[in-house]
A and B are shown apart, each in its own frame.
Chain A
């Protein structure tokens, strides 16, 4: 009876009574242990990611050494593998998309935070955030059936007519090519850059703007000379996060880049990325060395994105303080 009363009292107040302290102490210890245990488990999972990829890549690492990075051979029959065409394709497609998306995205973020009427800003921002969640397979599907024909029939010829003297815009125009991949990636990372830029700008204290306006600067001058410089590290961080996403994007790129392991200056030629070759050939890898070479590509991708994302996060974190 007394036990029951104590239990009820404890249940309702959440306060430990002396009688039950022993049980509570056990529970408290269990609680701490499970929190710590989860953290350790999480770190093991993270460490396992790197360790498993290094382990799986061992055979390829030993066979090809560092030469793997700049060899452009990719021949499963003779078992000669090199990463160069894939690294090139990943770098070119994601750098172009980063350049386009950061220019447009930062401008869009500025508009949403500074100039848009409140209701328009909120609804546009909500829309863009919602679209950030659209899966990449959807963008890939649209890119393959709508954007690729558009590039080969309209955008490609138009670029060739105007800028055809540049080596990037010469040669046969394929529908699935480096340019299409870069454009799809641009669309996919735009919401990230726009949303983070907007948040950073909105978080800036009003008094900086007021000071600048009081000194006679126009609203745009205030943005360009006061607001943007003070959040530039954060925006750089946002761009790095978006760049990391473009580097690792797999499905959408695989569907529109053409999947041919060649290095070509022309953006109208098909290419291949690190992520795409893994996606396409992983289940077809018949020999251990082939599989190991693909895993090494995954390892390279992992390390590059850890560096890029880490840098981006560091920048955003420094700004938070």
Chain B
């Protein structure tokens, strides 16, 4: 019965097409809706003012934007060096059960709920000092970023052609020079992409902030004190009963989407642009 078999096949293929385009369409519609609602809330004053009490028009999220940069920035300072070094270890010497175990731990850590990591940051950096702080939020973010940085670095090192490393070693260069001058240079596009994606991953992460950064209504630049953060502000505005604050939440959500898309696109572009150059080319 070839006709019937072809028909069944056609129906299934059609269903799969509906699924794929449907997923993309629904997600796009959500983004379009947020863009529409968010554009209305965005204005210069929204970007440069701190929140105002309910009833007074005009407040903004400037302190949250700055807070996001500070928290993510400190997290990057913590996670990047350790992550790159562990990734280098796995990429350069990473063979055998010990390295595989380490990579597995990193993979599992990548899936651990961020709220559990938030509790971890709370018990390590908030409870002992009896104070919520931006640094504790950065610690939570750093733990979230570490596995991504590790795996990206490892992957980037492992695709560097073997001959390159062998040639350098054969010329008498010691390991740290082979890694520093040859492998790192060749793997740079992949590593940079991984770092950017790690930043995109924690931008907009809210759960661990609830009891680490905690949030603030004021300008706060001291990382040892509670600090405002954009996604936290969106959350608090969204669950409030006031419609003016709901407006502010939509504006913030649009800003977050911009930031995340910017980072993701930058990651891809930087990879494509850098890949053409440098000693990493396989040809």
Contacts and interface: CB of A to CB of B under 8 A. Distances in A.
Interface of A: 13-16, 24-25, 27-28, 30-32, 34-39, 41-43, 45-46, 48-49, 52-53, 55-56, 104-105, 107-112, 114-116, 124, 127-128, 130-131, 133-142, 144-146, 187, 190-191, 194, 218-221, 224, 241, 244-245, 247-251, 255, 275, 278-279, 282-283, 294-295, 298-299, 301-302, 305-306, 308-310, 312-313, 317
Contacts of B69: none
Nearest to B254: A138
Nearest to B139: A45
Nearest to B98: A39
Nearest to A306: B108
A39 B17 CA distance: 45
B156 interface: no
Contacts of B171: 13-15
Contacts of A275: 113, 115, 207
Given A248-B115, A248-B116, A219 B13 contact: yes
A138 B256 CA distance: 8
A95 to B, nearest CB: 16
Contacts of B107: 309, 313
B31 A133 contact: no
A36 B246 CA distance: 49
B141 interface: no
A255 B238 contact: yes
Nearest to A107: B19
B50 interface: no
Contacts of A310: 104, 108
B31 A43 contact: no
Nearest to B174: A28
B242 interface: no
A56 B104 CA distance: 26
Contacts of A32: 175-176
Interface in B193-213: 200-201, 203-207, 210-211
Nearest to A27: B176
A111 to B, nearest CB: 4
Given A42-B150, A220-B8, A53 B120 contact: yes
